[in-house]
Amino acid sequence: MPECQNCGAFVTAAYARVFTPRDVDEPRVCPECEDKIRDGSDVRKARSPRGN
């Protein structure tokens, strides 16, 4: 099962397929990451706390 490169949380194969480039199996950031978010093709530090 794919794993987030930032926090180590497990993600579904469908999430990894949608949010990673074709040659990458594990996303750089996931919904469980509180300190980083996706910003287009980049990953950046979150500007405000993320609520779950």
Task: Please state the pTM of the whole predicted model.
Answer: 0.69
Q: How confident is the model at residue 50 (pLDDT cuts 50, 70, 90)?
A: low
pLDDT at 48 over 80: no
Q: What angle do CA 46, 37, 4 make, to 5 degrees?
A: 130
Helix (H/G/I), strand (E/B), else coil: 17: helix
Mean pLDDT in the chain? 83
Q: Region 25-49: what's the mean pLDDT?
A: 80
Helix (H/G/I), strand (E/B), else coil: 16: helix
